[in-house]
Amino acid sequence: MKLTRKLVLARAKASDLESVKKLNCWGCNLTDISIFEEIPNVEVLTLSANHISSLEHISSCQHLSELYLRRNNIQSLSELRHLRSLSCLKVLWLAENPCCDTADPSTYRPTVIRNLPGLHKLDNQVVTEEELAQALKEGEELVSPPSPAPTSSTNGHTEADSENDPLNYSMEETNKIRAQLGMKLLARDKFPSLSSPREAGDTSKRKSHTLEAVLLLLKDLDVEELKIIQSVTESKLRSRSRQREKSPICS
């Protein structure tokens, strides 16, 4: 399950993502937490009892001080490298993850503490100065997590194809139009999935996506804004009609 903007705001009782300071998503069956790239000011995260396997997106939470990750699906301690830039992180609860079960009990804590030396508490146990000093000597330096292989979508296209994805075109065109009207740009999660087949030519493809973008835009316009669209459209139609009348007719 993907953690969405709507769920975050509901759980945090916040009006926008930047104002979220504490978030409790215990037991929400989460697998995708990429939304954290848009929540830079969160300080306390409770994500225990989910299915999270990567900590990459949490690296954007530079104000994070407490992170609770018990009972997830973190396979390797190397994922902790994503947390090394979080200078405010003081509390981490990582127990009951696969990376803890497979690690040598004698090296688990020293390795975590060496790579996150700012921790005050690990797995609900205080990190003492003596333990920190020992961890810096005996803990293992973690290697970078392996880069994930490109994933294929259900239609056989990889993420590299996203540049040609109809959704991207629609989002780009819609936000371009909204910017021209002085309206707030929309985030990607505001757009429905578009399942129209890929057109053969780039020109016809872009025209199709522009039309889709306009139709999406109309849903958010009020009466005055719709009147503006109507006026511009009528003007365009008159101009195009005059151009067609002047064009020679081919026999």
Does one domain contain both 11 and 111?
Answer: yes
- Residue 33 CA to residue 58 CA, distance in Å, equals 8
Contact between residue 167 and residue 187 where contact means Cβ atoms under 8 Å apart: no
179 and 102: one domain?
A: no
Task: Name the pLDDT band for 179 (thresholds 50, 70, 90).
Answer: low
- Give a yes or no: residue 151 inside a domain: no
118 and 215 fall within a common domain: no
The verdict on residue 156 lying in a domain is no
Domain CATH for 67: 3.80.10.10
User: Does one domain contain both 117 and 172?
Assistant: no
Cα 190 to chain centroid, rounded: 13
User: Same structural domain for residues 130 and 180?
Assistant: no
Residue 169 domain-assigned (yes or no): yes
Query: pLDDT tens digits, residue range 1-46?
Result: 999 999 999 999 999 999 999 999 999 999 999 999 999 999 999 9
Regarding whether 10 and 120 lie in a shared domain, the answer is yes
CB of 177 within 8 A of CB of 228? no
Nearest to 136 by CA among 110, 159, 157: 110
Q: Nearest to residue 194, comparing CAs of 218, 226, 162?
A: 162
Reference 23, options 84, 52, 65; nearest CA is 65
78 Cβ neighbours under 8 A, 6+ residues apart: 142, 143, 144, 145, 146
Residue 82 belongs to domain spanning? 5-138
DSSP 102-160: HS-HHHHHHHHHHHSTT-SEETTEE--HHHHHHHHHHSPPPPPPPPPPPPB-TTS-BGG
**Are 164 and 198 in contact, with CB atoms under 8 Å apart?**
yes
What mean pLDDT do residues 173-199 have? 54
Q: How far apart are CA 56 and CA 63, in angstroms?
A: 15
Residue 212 in tokens: 């889709």
| pLDDT for 152 beyond 90 | no
Q: Are residues 95 and 215 in the same domain?
A: no
| Cβ atoms of residues 114 and 140 within 8 Å | yes
Q: Specify if 109 maps to a domain.
A: yes
Here the tokens at position 7 are 């769920």
Question: Judging by beta carbons within 10 Å of its beta carbon (0-12, 13-18, 19+), is residue 67 exposed, middle or buried?
Answer: buried
The tokens describing 112, both together, are 């975590």
Q: Are residues 21 and 127 in the same domain?
A: yes
Most confident of 77-86, 181-190, 197-206, 217-226: 77-86
Tell me the pLDDT tens digit for each residue of 80-137.
999 999 999 999 999 999 999 888 888 999 999 999 999 999 999 999 999 999 999 9
Count of structural domains, the chain: 2
Amino acid at 214: V
Range 222-227 average pLDDT: 68
User: CA–CA separation, 56 vs 245, rounded Å?
Assistant: 59
Distance, CA of 170 to CA of 210 (rounded, Å): 6
Tokens at residue 154, please?
């259900």
Do 121 and 189 fall into the same domain? no
174 shares a domain with 223? yes
The answer as to whether 155 is a domain residue is no
Residue 148 lies in a domain: no
Residues 132 and 231 in one domain: no
Same domain (yes/no): 108, 199:
no
Q: Is residue 185 part of a domain?
A: yes
Q: Which residues contact 165 (CB under 8 A, 6 or more apart)?
A: 157
